[in-house]
Each structure stands twice: as C-alpha cells, then as structure tokens.
C-alpha cells in the first residue's frame, strides 16, 4: 500500500502541469545575476534582451541592452547600474577572440526618461590564440575591500580574474589577469563570511534535453585564489563541488547568480538548458540557495503537497486548536501478547472521524506534539493567480481534505477560516532559508496597506505560534516542512 502510494505520487509529479521554472515567458540563455530597479527584477541574457518581472515569479521580455553578444552580468553600484558583457568570442563566428565591455545606466527600465547607456568600454579581451576566451563575465564587488573583480572565460583555456575600478567600470590600470580555473565557463564570484567562491558551469550547453551543464564551486580565502573544492582540488586542476545539476524535470543549469533577499534568505538564479515541461526550452530558474558547512548548494523548488509543519524552536507541529480525539485500540498488555494472533496495521485517524468535533467557524492555531492527526496535516497549494515572489508563487495552506485555510489576523495572530477565499491574508510566501528551514509569511496582514515582507509565523512559546518580525538568528522564525504526500 505504501509502495503503491509512492508510485501514484511519482506519476502525479511527472504530469505536473506547472512549469518547473518561473512562469510567464521566462525564456533566456546565460542570465545575469538578478538586479532590482524601482521594485522590478531584471536579468540580462545572451542577445540584446533579457527578462523583467514585477514580482520575481512571473517573467517576460522587454529588457534592452545594446551591443548584442553573450552572457552579460549586471550590478547596482551607488545609484547606477554597471552592465558587463562579451561582444564576441565564445567560438561564435569570431572564434575565441573576445572582448568584454562595461557600460553604465541610471536605470534598467527602458521606459524611464533616464534610460541611456554610456559608451561601452573594453575591460578585457582575448586574441583568439591565447588560453582564454573573453566572454561570460561575472562581477563581484568585494564587500570587505570595496574592490571590484570580474571572472571570465570559457572552456577555451583558462578562467581569468581581473580588477575593475568600481567608480568608472574600467579596468584598474596596470592590472594583470590571473588564471583561476580551467574546464568550465559562465563563472561567477561571490563573497560570504570570509570566503570567496568561484562558481563555474561544467559540462556541455546548447544541446537541449541532452545538455549536461551543471554548476560547481570552489572557494578561497583570497579573491585571487586558489579556488579549491571540498576534497582540496584546485579549480585550476578541474576541481569543483556540485551546487546544482539536472533534476525536477529540468536539465543543464548554468550561469549562477546569487541574490540575497534578507538575512538567511537567498536564492540562486540560473538558466536550465531545457525545461522538460516547456518544450525543452531554455528558461530562467530561481532556486533557494542553501549553505551547508560554508558550501553553497541549491535547494529544491517547493512542491505542492501535504506537509507536517514543525517549529525549529521545539519541534512542535502546527495544528488546529481543536480537541485531541483519542483513537480506539484493542490493547494488549505486553506480558500477555498472543504470539499466534495475526499482525495487522492500524489505520491512520481520518478527517471524517474527527471533523465533526471541530467548530465550523474560525478555529485558532497552536503548536503541539506531532501525532500525525488530521488537524496537523496542511496541504500547500499554489495560487497562481495571486502572483509570487522570487522563486515561488503564493500558496494557500489548508487543512488536508478541507478548504479550511490558514490566515493572518489584524491583531498579528494566526487563525483558520472555514473556506479559502483568496484574500491576501490567506496567501503565504514560503521561502527556504540558507540552513534548510523555512520562513512562512502572509502576503498581507489585515489593516496593513502594503505587502508584508517583515512578519512571519513565529514561535512566541513552544505551543503558541504568532506573527512577529523575521529574525534569522532566532529559531522562533523557522519551520520545517516534512512532506507527507506530494500532490
């Protein structure tokens, strides 16, 4: 029976209608790190355009970048955006003679009157014969030193590191490139807690559903390397620890970008060479970014299903504040057990057995010992029409088998309403934190005018969930989602 259910769940997953990536028209190759401009998200891709999103979930074209070429990156510095891209190279027509250029814009919004790119400036180049192919730049503004670095290159030779002047976007005078990796491309540099990380894309691109692209990482205490993987291998010797590979009906992740949403809330952007749910097209992917032992690893996309939601504080489970209904059991005292009696399973308590004991109006919410009872099982379902945020759509959280929905109240508490109505206080933003736990926040709190980005379900006491300000340093802000059944 258990086995049978697994098979059912698996086949349900295979026919999942929703896209594995973002929604809208998220078609892109070689996306830049995400940039935020006037409340909208932007990512630049190969070619002249890129994608825009109002909410971080639904994407469409409309980004404008002159110069064509490949694989740009973008970063906000002060009140301007620095865009960097490879004009030629990458084995495209022009062979491996490439040029990397930077240019500035006050805005990324093509409809803004301030939208105007400065003249592009060459910051690096490869002549086509040397061990380098000057495309695929990735920007790092070192938060420790204020210095700016670019990694670039492809399989044709070495990945190189150069320094730019963050005030001008030009190459620091006299700066000589340093070779930091081989046998990868589409690199990016990030800094976190005293470590510099070099993310490289390994494998092969541009072969649709057979593309083997995957993202690996090495790290160094110095921005100039050596970047070493988890078994001590230098990326200059091909080393690298996997961050994300194929899975979940997408393959060929490449072109890493890290976006920090909040303390402990990070996502990585990439493209998938092929989304098996979308004709095998190349699409934008946004996934939670987790950190394990100071190594980055992609989290999974949150899937619809039925979950136990337990607090990181005590391990108690989120439940309806209803009477505990004892289950009947034919008891056998252990010294009187009849060894000839057949062994049979005791069925789970069912919703039907208990729902009649529940009130019909609003029911409060508390946390208690997890006993896998119906009042502790929450079904998480996407509400596509409600929009989303970086990485996911908004969800409704209902008691399994019912329409009873978790909701935020005006006085910053939790309740459940008998029927999900789509009201914003019944919509939930669920984000996986860097340690693998989740924060869960209502889209809006009744009486507040703006979207909520501060208050999360919070353990006021072990048994008392409430809404309070998110604090990554406190386990009160964190919840674990244990999947009982996928949709």
Partner 1 sequence: MRKSIILSLLCLPLGLAAQNPVVRNQFSADPTARVFNNKVYLYPSHDIPAPEGQRQDWFCMADYHVFSSANLTDWEDHGVIITQNNVPWVKPDSYAMWAPDCVCRDGKYYFYFPAAPKEGRGFDIGVATADQPEGPFVCEQEPIKGVMGIDPCVLVDDDGQSYIYWSGMGIRGARLKQNMKELESEGMVMEGLPEGFKEGPYAFKQGGWYYLTFPWVRVEKGTETLAYAMSRNPLGPWDFKGIIMAEHANGCWTNHHSITQYNGQWYLFYHHNDYSPSMDKHRSVCIDRLSFNADGTIMEVKPTLRGVGVNQATDQIEVDRYSTASEDVTIQYHDTLNTFRGWYAELPKKGSFLCYNDVDFSGVDDAYLTANVKANANTQLLIREKNEKGKVIAKIDIVCVSEGQYRRDQRGQWLHVTAPLQYVPKGVTDLCITCEGEDACVDWIQFKNRQSYFKPVGAQPSLPDANGFIRRWTLLEPIDKPNRSNTVFTDTYLREHFNKEYFAQQFTILPKDGQKVKAGKQTLTWHALESQAYNVKLFRFSEKLQKQMYGVLFWAVTTIDCPEEIKDVRLAVGSNSASMWWFNGEEVLLLSGDRRMVEDDGMSPRVTLKKGRNVLRGAIINGPGMSDFCVRFLDDKNNPVTNYTIINNK
| Binding to partner 1 in span 98-117, by CB under 8 A | 98-99
- What minimum distance in Å lies between the beta carbon of 342 and partner 1? 50
Looking at 51, 87, 198, 407, which residue binds partner 1 (CB under 8 A)?
A: 87
Residue with smaller CB distance to partner 1, 178 or 460: 178
Q: State the CB neighbour count (10 A cutoff) for residue 286.
A: 28
List the x/- string, 196-235, binding to partner 1 by CB under 8 A.
------xxx-xx--xxx--------------------xx-
Confirm if 105 and 113 have CB atoms less than 8 A apart. Answer: no
Radius of gyration of the chain (CA): 25
- What minimum distance in Å lies between the beta carbon of 93 and partner 1? 3
DSSP 117: P
d(CA 272, CA 268): 12
Helix (H) or strand (E) holding 239: none
State yes or no: residue 239 binds partner 1 (CB under 8 A).
Answer: yes
Tally of CA atoms within 13 A in the half-sphere of 403 that contains its CB? 7
Cα-flanking dihedrals φ and ψ of residue 237, to 5°?
Answer: -110, 20
Residue with smaller CB distance to partner 1, 54 or 130: 130
Residue with smaller CB distance to partner 1, 155 or 438: 155
State yes or no: residue 442 binds partner 1 (CB under 8 A).
Answer: no
How many residues are recorded in the chain? 487
Residue with smaller CB distance to partner 1, 118 or 349: 118
Q: Sort strands 23-24 and 58-61 into parallel, antiparallel or unpaired.
A: parallel
| Binding to partner 1 in span 114-143, by CB under 8 A | 118-119, 121-122, 125-131
- What minimum distance in Å lies between the beta carbon of 140 and partner 1? 23
**Per-residue DSSP letters for 270-323?**
EEEEEETTTTTEEEEEEEEEEEETTEEEEPPPPPPEEEEEEETTT--EEEES--
Structure tokens at 293: 């032992």
Q: State the CB neighbour count (10 A cutoff) for residue 372.
A: 11
Q: Put the strands of the sheet holding 281-292 in their side by side order.
A: 250-262, 265-275, 281-292, 295-298
What is the total count of residues that contact partner 1 (CB under 8 A)?
Answer: 42
Residue with smaller CB distance to partner 1, 235 or 289: 235
Structure tokens at 358: 């529940």
| Binding to partner 1 in span 163-182, by CB under 8 A | 173-174, 182
Residue with smaller CB distance to partner 1, 59 or 256: 256
- What minimum distance in Å lies between the beta carbon of 53 and partner 1? 31
* Residue among 190, 393, 225, 201 at smallest CA distance from 296: 190
SS3 352: helix
d(CA 348, CA 351): 9
Residue with smaller CB distance to partner 1, 90 or 368: 90
- What minimum distance in Å lies between the beta carbon of 126 and partner 1? 7
State yes or no: residue 298 binds partner 1 (CB under 8 A).
Answer: no
State yes or no: residue 238 binds partner 1 (CB under 8 A).
Answer: yes
d(CA 212, CA 244): 11
Considering only the stretches 14-22, 97-105, 108-116, 328-336, report the one whose residues sit in contact with partner 1 under the rule CB under 8 A.
97-105
- What minimum distance in Å lies between the beta carbon of 146 and partner 1? 16
Residue with smaller CB distance to partner 1, 219 or 429: 219
Q: State the CB neighbour count (10 A cutoff) for residue 232.
A: 8
- What minimum distance in Å lies between the beta carbon of 291 and partner 1? 24
Residue with smaller CB distance to partner 1, 93 or 347: 93
Residue with smaller CB distance to partner 1, 240 or 465: 240
CA angle centred on 326, ends 321 and 332, rounded to 5°? 155
Chain contacts with partner 1 (rule: CB under 8 A)? 87-88, 91-94, 97-99, 118-119, 121-122, 125-131, 155-157, 173-174, 182-184, 202-204, 206-207, 210-212, 233-234, 237-240
């Amino acid at each position: 029976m258990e086995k049978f259910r697994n098979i059912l769940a698996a086949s349900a997953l295979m026919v999942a209608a929703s896209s594995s990536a973002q929604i809208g028209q998220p078609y892109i190759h070689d996306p830049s790190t995400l940039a935020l401009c006037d409340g909208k998200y932007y990512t630049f891709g190969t070619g002249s355009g890129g994608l825009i999103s109002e909410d971080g979930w639904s994407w469409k074209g409309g980004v404008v970048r002159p110069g064509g070429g490949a694989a740009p990156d973008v970063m906000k510095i002060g009140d301007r955006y620095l865009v960097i891209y490879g004009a030629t190279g990458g084995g495209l027509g022009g062979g491996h003679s490439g040029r990397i250029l930077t240019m500035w814009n006050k805005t990324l919004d093509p409809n803004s009157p301030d939208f105007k790119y400065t003249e592009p400036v060459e910051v690096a180049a490869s002549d086509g014969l040397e061990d380098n192919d000057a495309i695929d730049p990735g920007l790092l503004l070192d938060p420790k030193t204020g210095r700016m670095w670019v990694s670039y290159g492809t399989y044709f030779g070495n990945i190189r590191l150069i320094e730019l002047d963050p005030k001008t976007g030009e190459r620091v005078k006299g700066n000589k490139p340093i070779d930091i990796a081989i046998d990868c491309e589409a690199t990016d540099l990030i800094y976190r807690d005293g470590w510099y990380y070099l993310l490289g894309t390994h494998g092969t691109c541009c072969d649709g559903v057979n593309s083997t692209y995957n993202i690996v990482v090495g790290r160094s205490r110095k921005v100039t390397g050596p970047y070493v993987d988890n078994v001590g291998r230098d990326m200059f010797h091909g080393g690298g620890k996997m961050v994300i590979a194929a899975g979940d009906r997408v393959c060929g992740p490449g072109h890493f970008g890290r976006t920090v949403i909040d303390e402990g809330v990070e996502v990585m952007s990439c493209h998938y060479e092929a989304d098996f749910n979308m004709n095998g097209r190349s699409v934008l992917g946004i996934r939670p970014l987790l950190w394990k032992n100071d190594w980055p690893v992609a989290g999974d996309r949150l899937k619809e299903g039925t979950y136990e939601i337990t607090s990181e504080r005590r391990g108690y489970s989120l439940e309806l504040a209803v009477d505990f209904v004892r289950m009947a059991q034919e008891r056998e005292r252990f010294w009187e057990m009849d060894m000839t009696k057949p062994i049979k399973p005791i069925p789970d308590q069912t919703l039907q057995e208990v729902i009649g004991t529940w009130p019909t109006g609003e029911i409060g919410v508390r946390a208690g010992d997890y006993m896998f009872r119906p009042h502790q099982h929450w079904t998480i379902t996407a509400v596509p029409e409600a929009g989303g945020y970086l990485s996911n759509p908004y969800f409704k959280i209902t008691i399994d088998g019912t329409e009873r929905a978790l909701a935020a109240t005006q006085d910053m508490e939790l309740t459940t309403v008998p029927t999900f109505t789509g009201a914003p206080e019944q919509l939930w933003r669920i984000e996986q934190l860097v340690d693998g736990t989740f924060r869960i926040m209502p889209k809006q709190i009744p009486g507040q005018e703006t979207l909520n980005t501060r208050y999360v379900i919070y353990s006021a006491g072990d048994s008392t969930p409430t809404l309070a300000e998110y604090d990554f340093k406190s386990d009160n802000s964190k919840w674990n989602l244990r999947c009982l059944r996928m949709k």
